[in-house]
A and B are shown apart, each in its own frame.
Chain A
């Protein structure tokens, strides 16, 4: 039971990170209807920028951890958002009215570009950082000495995710931008006729998605203490799996799918085998899609003749 509780905590933390990335996928899919294959690499870029900002701030002599974290968060969100914006401008906007496969291949190409760009720019070796946030709480200690730990970093990841989700939900449901986004999702032509700047709205979608991915990158860096140029691929596929599992296009679905994938992966590693955790995640995706072809919370796609 204690072991189960500990794994539950670990799974929820991992799931939060996946969920943050998955929102970027599902948002872009909802509006533009394309799989943004480069999104996993945007997450990786976010991690790298956070790492570099950390290094600079520390070498400048800053010691206040909350201040460092805030600056790193803002810088990595800002620069990664600009990456998201640029990617959309270069690789996707010219193909917006092209056929379905064209933007997807362009996205795969962009993903290769970003992976190898950071390999060329930052080297192929894994970059570790010393743990910034240490300590934690012991929730429960059983007779045989097993301890349920809740570390501060885990608390931080979950709280950041919840706060960001709250802001994000408010953004989509209450603001002008969110209304424009929902309008574009339903019908771009009609939205444009009613005075919505479709280009700007789509750009903003990519910017927000990239900023959330940057937060996920920072959380990953703090939680695992390392980044490398290839981490975007695996994390990206997992997050995309999460988005599809939750029902692509649905925002609560993305978070739910992220948590589901995180939990499946953690429990499988804990109770069965670490080697096959990814196989388990993908297999469950396939099984869920057989019985619910549009994911857990997705709307069924009705094709009109």
Chain B
């Protein structure tokens, strides 16, 4: 861990200053790691704690910090500080708009072709489905956070409501996926409104903590209401989706038999892939359409200035509630899809970490940029998969990446936006100029 100097501090130059900084950093690292890494404790078989020392590891870590801070300092002096441009320069802007115009369709076409290209690679298909699920969740949360500027730390609650709605309705009543999908969305939207009511008067961080508490309440109720939800054991045996009533299995009634082709388990995966792609695209399309409708305009106005909104006669109550309900509905759809894909759901899938992950995707995507959210989901989930082998280091690296990305690009990957409403011509602006709302 290196300690970057601040902007206000005078830039240190010369070898002695460099070594001094590195030395101080190494000293701090030595104290930090001395006990936590240097002494390893473990409970013995009789409950007695024992410990052994690991000074080699501490020395290695301190050396890494020493070397790392020298490299960081040299890099900083070499690159120098870059001034932030508020208005994107025309050349860059035309380049971005060129890429922007063709990147999204190109990505879409590529995504449509993924099952064709990677037909034999089950792993890649599964990963693609996972990425698309998070793209959909990101787009759903984007309505609440990116458009309406309401900070929601409990989004996973709606994902859970959707998943459990489908899981319980399907296992208890045998209802099909296509009936339950809208129901899951409606139920999640209902819970969204239910959450929306108490938080109407809250602002900023009060809103954040209440949504977080709401997410935890839903999870704790799921864990403890054992009669209904099966508690920590979860709901298993959730039916797989059918191709609009035709099952995707090896029977005579199955789709493969009806089409007269040989059955393969991959059919179902490909079907699931296109299902989540369709759901995600519906989310995207609805969001884009809503942005052009009065309610969408009201969301963005609410994000920019709530007082001005009121003064202009916008009903902030209904505006906030529709934002919560719309976002929650998409979360519910994604949850129902998650349940049918996994066939098994348990409260472990709906922890705060998931909420944080989806929020990170939205913020990293640039808050409000649809393409940015998709790219961020790809980067986050893809990057997450790279560390699958290193199970316990995975979240460590994920957390570090989150911190570093925030320091590097606090405004997300796609740091500019085309305004929804403009006077004569649309000019992309840096998202530094876009407010994030105060709840």
Contact of B436 among A101, A129, A279, A294 (CB under 8 A): A101
Q: Between A and B, how many residue pairs show CB distances below 8 Å?
A: 200
Please name all residues of chain A whose beta carbon is closer than 8 Å to the beta carbon of B213 when the two chains form the complex. 237, 241, 282, 285-286
Indicate if the CB atoms of B49 and A129 lie closer than 8 Å.
Answer: yes
Contact of B407 among A86, A99, A106, A285 (CB under 8 A): A106
Given A117-B36, A199-B6, A276-B224: A105 touches B307 (CB 8 Å cut-off): no
Please name all residues of chain B whose beta carbon is closer than 8 Å to the beta carbon of A51 when the two chains form the complex. 41, 49
CB-nearest residue of chain A to B54: A121
Indicate if the CB atoms of A108 and B356 lie closer than 8 Å.
Answer: yes
Mark out the residues of chain B between 1 and 25 whose CB falls within 8 Å of any chain A CB in the assembled complex: 1-4, 6, 8
Q: Say whether chain A's binding surface is mostly helix, strand, loop, or mixed.
A: helix
Given A112-B395, A293-B206: A95 touches B407 (CB 8 Å cut-off): yes
Classify chain B's interface size.
Answer: 35 or more
Given A108-B360, A109-B401: A286 touches B210 (CB 8 Å cut-off): yes
Mark out the residues of chain B between 392 and 413 whose CB falls within 8 Å of any chain A CB in the assembled complex: 392-393, 395-396, 398-403, 406-407, 410-411
Given A105-B406, A106-B406, A279-B221: A52 touches B35 (CB 8 Å cut-off): yes
The verdict on A244 contacting chain B, using a C-beta distance below 8 Å, is yes
Q: Complex formed: what's the CA distance from A56 to B40 in Å?
A: 11
Mark out the residues of chain A between 252 and 305 whose CB falls within 8 Å of any chain B CB in the assembled complex: 275-276, 278-279, 282-283, 285-287, 289-290, 293-295, 301, 303, 305
Nearest-neighbour CB distance to chain B for A199, whole angstroms, equals: 6
Given A52-B41, A125-B43: A116 touches B32 (CB 8 Å cut-off): no
CB-nearest residue of chain B to A110: B403
The verdict on B28 contacting chain A, using a C-beta distance below 8 Å, is yes
Please name all residues of chain B whose beta carbon is closer than 8 Å to the beta carbon of A289 when the two chains form the complex. 198, 202, 206, 210
Contact of A293 among B202, B221, B352, B407 (CB under 8 A): B202
Please name all residues of chain A whose beta carbon is closer than 8 Å to the beta carbon of B36 when the two chains form the complex. 45, 48-49, 52, 117-118, 121-122
Contact of B203 among A29, A79, A86, A301 (CB under 8 A): A301
Please name all residues of chain B whose beta carbon is closer than 8 Å to the beta carbon of A162 when the two chains form the complex. none
CB-nearest residue of chain A to B151: A101
Nearest-neighbour CB distance to chain B for A28, whole angstroms, equals: 11
Nearest-neighbour CB distance to chain A for B123, whole angstroms, equals: 25
The verdict on B381 contacting chain A, using a C-beta distance below 8 Å, is no
Classify chain A's interface size.
Answer: 35 or more
Indicate if the CB atoms of A244 and B209 lie closer than 8 Å.
Answer: yes
Given A109-B401, A113-B399, A129-B49: A123 touches B42 (CB 8 Å cut-off): yes
The verdict on A126 contacting chain B, using a C-beta distance below 8 Å, is yes
Please name all residues of chain B whose beta carbon is closer than 8 Å to the beta carbon of A208 when the two chains form the complex. none
CB-nearest residue of chain B to A111: B399
Nearest-neighbour CB distance to chain A for B139, whole angstroms, equals: 18
The verdict on A131 contacting chain B, using a C-beta distance below 8 Å, is no
Known: A109-B401, A289-B202. 7 other contacts (CB 8 A): A100-B436, A101-B151, A102-B411, A121-B40, A282-B216, A286-B214, A305-B308
Using CB atoms and an 8 Å cutoff, list the residues of chain A in contact with chain B: 29, 35, 45, 48-49, 51-53, 55-56, 59, 75, 79, 82-83, 86, 89-91, 93-95, 98-106, 108-129, 199, 233, 237, 240-241, 244, 248, 275-276, 278-279, 282-283, 285-287, 289-290, 293-295, 301, 303, 305
Using CB atoms and an 8 Å cutoff, list the residues of chain B in contact with chain A: 1-4, 6, 8, 28, 31-32, 34-37, 39-43, 47, 49, 51, 151, 198, 201-206, 208-210, 212-214, 216-217, 220-221, 223-224, 306-308, 352-353, 356, 359-360, 363, 367, 392-393, 395-396, 398-403, 406-407, 410-411, 432, 436, 438
